[in-house]
Every structure is written in structure tokens, then in C-alpha cells.
Amino acid sequence: MAATRTLRIGLIPGDGIGREVIPAGRRLLEALPASLNLKFSFVDLEAGWNTFQQQGVALPDKTVETLKKECDGALFGAVSSPTVQTKGYSSPIVALRKKLQLYANVRPVKSVKGALTKGGEVDLVIVRENTEDLYVKEEKTYTAADGSKIAEAIKRISETASWNIASMAGDIALRRQRLRDAGAESIHNSPLVTITHKSNVLSQTDGLFRETSRAALAQDKYKGLGIEEQIVDSMVYKLFRQPQAYDVIVAPNLYGDILSDGAAALVGSLGLVPSANVGKEFVIGEPCHGSAPDIEGRGIANPIATMRSTALMLEFQGEEEAARRIYEAVDGNLEEGRLLTPDMGGKATTEEVINDVLRRL
């Protein structure tokens, strides 16, 4: 009999509906079948705008240290942002990505039968580099000779970061294929990675990303993996016209950010879309929706993105079978379409959806 593995998970609800959906992730983990030989312990942690108002910091040192020293992974809900520039405030999830060296943002986008969708069948993953590109935020504004202002921003692409993100995309493509081989439904029959760039214009920066990604995916361990590339502007067009053509997409930070939100529109609601912030040592599951203050406290927030983020966290912890069980339970809820929250055109409450998925699990 296999030994039981115990994972300690940090729970960071954040603000707004984050406090309503993160409990769904905990309940899912606690409900996994005993045959999987998994146990979980949990620690409640603080971060967000409400934390900033109470403590003067959006990401307390205690939260970071607890994650580093005590936890195997974490679930992060959502954060509100101040409506005006506020001295001392900065995004806690961005800070966590830096402090925990979470160099990849992984965002699966999947449609299911019976659920609201605008793109037909969709089953893809966008793997976005998380640390560089224009998001290094090195900007300056100066005055030209004619007195007009000029603003400049640095776009930084490194060989190391490009290699890491392309390798992760290759690993994800192979893992997705293993899940398909184990019975997970998919519109794809074989693994494929699409390298996204604009090297026809940005020959040095995007050129380095393209060349390094191809070299990383040429490693022996990716033998049998399909590799293609596409210019980002034409890719946007094809993504909306033929999303079925994509399996795993790897992109620099800015392109990945834009493609991720665009792809979410294909399946009808951000309330369905999970993500994971991943590094070599740690992973944080994070639903893609915001704190949604307009529906806070009404009990109608969609918990599906959090549930899928929980499964995604388990995937990166090597627990693929546990992840598959959660995905199947969630898909069953959506396919039946009887209990859907208002963002999906239904009338179900958060609690009703959670209970239905737990029953299926």
C-alpha cells in the first residue's frame, strides 16, 4: 500500500468574493477519495486591499515567510485595488510572484458541452512568462528638443527565462497528453506547443525568445511533441476563429497577458478560468476573476475557477490523478447545466454549485 502524502496548503482569500470561493478549494481537497493516499493541512493567511487598510501593507512578511517555510502550495482568491493611486500600496500577487520566484503563469481555457461558450470547442493552455518583457517596468519620460514629452519603456527578454518558460510549456503538453491517455476528454489527440512572438519586427528580443524556445523544445525528453510558431497578431485572429487548433501556447509576458484574457472570452466567463503561478519550488492556484465587489456577500459567486485552480495546483505537485478527478467533477456540473451561477446564465448559488461538484467527486 502506498504511503500517504500530506500537503500543507496556504489559503489566501484576499478581498471580495475571494473569501467566498477559496473555501471551495479547501472543501474539494478534503473530499478527495482516500484511495488517492492524500491528506491536507491548511493555514489561513492574509493579503490584499483590506489587509493594507488594516495593517498598512498589502502583503505581510508573515504571509511570505509562512508560505516559504511551512507550505507546499497555496490558493489565492482575489484582491481589490484602490480607485486612486495610494502611497505604499502595490499588488500582493505580483509581489508574491517575485518573492517566491514564480516565473510562469499557466492558464488553461476549456469549454464543456452544455455550458455557455462563444468559441465552439476549446481546450488549450496559455503559458505566460511572468518575470520580464515590458513588465520589468523600467520606464522614463523626458522632454525632446521641441519641448514635447517622450516616454520610453524597456522590453527585456533573456535566454534563461525563455528557456525556462518553453520547457514548462513542453512539460505541460506532455502532462496533458498523459491525462488524455488516462481517460480525460479532449479535442486533441497529440501534444502540440505553439511559440508566439513578433520576431519579424522585434528581431533581437522576440527573436531571442523564438530561438531559445525552439532550442528548449528540441531536448530529447520532448521527442514526439509537435512544435509550431505563430506571429502574435495573426494568432489573435486565428485564436478567435479556430481555437480548436491550439493545445499549449507559450508566450512572453505581454502577449501572454493579452491572449489569456481574450481566450477567457471564448468560454463565456472569467468565473470558469483557473490559473497557476508556478516556479521550480512552489505553486499558487489562482482563479482569474477579480474581487467582484458588485456581487460580494450575495452568495452567487462562481466557484468553478477556484476549483479548477485547485486541480491545477495539484497537477504541479505531481498529483495528476487527484487533479483529473476534480476536473471530471467540475465538467460534469457544467455539462449537465442544471446548477449554474448567474454569470453562466443560471440561478444557482455558490453553495449549490460547490455541493454539486463535491457530490460528483
> Per residue in 315-330, pLDDT tens?
999 998 999 999 999 9
Average pLDDT over residues 136-160: 94
- Does residue 265 register a pLDDT over 90? no
Are 102 and 130 in contact, with CB atoms under 8 Å apart? yes
Distances 38 to 33, 41, 57, 143 between C-alpha atoms, Å? 8, 10, 35, 61
pLDDT of 117 > 60? The answer is: no
pLDDT for residue 142 is more than 60: yes
What is the residue type of 91?
S
> Which of 109, 75, 128 is closest to 272 using CA atoms?
109
Cα 264 to Cα 354: distance, rounded to the nearest angstrom:
21
Fold of 156-266: Rossmann fold (3.40.50)
- Under the banding of pLDDT at 50, 70 and 90, the label for residue 113 is low
Q: Give me the pLDDT at residue 119, please.
A: 53
pLDDT digits (tens, 9 = 90+) for 20-64: 999 999 999 999 999 999 999 999 999 999 999 999 999 999 999
Report yes or no: 150 and 141 within 8 Å, Cβ to Cβ: yes
The alpha carbon torsion through 222, 228, 233, 235 (nearest 10 deg) reads -90
**C-alpha cell at position 246:** 491550439
pLDDT band at 2 (very low <50, low <70, confident <90, very high): confident
Q: pLDDT class for 254, splitting at 50, 70, 90?
A: very high
Equal fold, 1-80+90-117+270-361 vs 156-266 = no
Q: Which CATH superfamily, name and number, covers 1-80+90-117+270-361?
A: Isopropylmalate Dehydrogenase (3.40.718.10)
d(CA 288, CA 328): 20
Give CA 110 to chain center in angstroms.
Answer: 12
Spans of all domains in the chain: 1-80+90-117+270-361, 156-266
For the entire predicted model, the pTM comes to 0.88
